[in-house]
Amino acid sequence: MVRLKALVKITKELEEVLNQPIITKNRESVIEQINLLIEKRGKLMDSVKPPFTEEEKVMGKKLIILNESIQLKMTEVLDVLKVEMKQLKKQKKSNQNYVNPYKDVRTMDGMFMDSKK
């Protein structure tokens, strides 16, 4: 029972962390908090074993609902990170093309080779 209450508490903490807005300034700390809470939660989930009382079953149902909302929010965070990574990669390539515009040129302009003799 105590482990299940701790699991519910950590799950709610994780949901609160995911509910806060993730901006560039706090992104790294938020991701660290999420990872830490997920690790704690995973350890507690491994320690929860049946048989369960009726009260524990009710808490389990609440956990399932919380878990579904957490999964949706985690997916949103991951999608935002993917988009930002793509933008960063595109910006990096654009900057490289600006610095050295002839880097990817494969032809030798102005050169003619006569193959006939």
What CA–CA distance (Å, rounded) separates 89 from 82?
A: 11
What CA–CA distance (Å, rounded) separates 89 from 96?
A: 11
Tell me, yes or no, whether 50 lies in a domain. yes
Tell me, yes or no, whether 102 lies in a domain. no
Question: Could you tell me the residue range of the domain that residue 53 belongs to?
Answer: 2-80
pLDDT digits (tens, 9 = 90+) for 2-36: 888 888 999 999 999 999 888 888 889 999 999 99
Tell me, yes or no, whether 85 lies in a domain. no
54 vs 109 pLDDT, higher one:
54
Tell me, yes or no, whether 89 lies in a domain. no
What CA–CA distance (Å, rounded) separates 103 from 69?
A: 48
Is the backbone peptide bond immediately before 21 cis, with ω within 30 degrees of 0?
Answer: no
- DSSP characters over 16-55: HHHHS---TTTHHHHHHHHHHHHHHHHHHHHH--S---HH
pLDDT digits (tens, 9 = 90+) for 47-97: 888 888 898 889 889 999 999 999 999 999 899 889 999 999 999 988 888
Instruction: Give residue 49's pLDDT.
Output: 83
Q: Which pTM does this prediction carry?
A: 0.73
Tell me, yes or no, whether 62 lies in a domain. yes
Instruction: Give residue 32's pLDDT.
Output: 93
Tell me, yes or no, whether 10 lies in a domain. yes
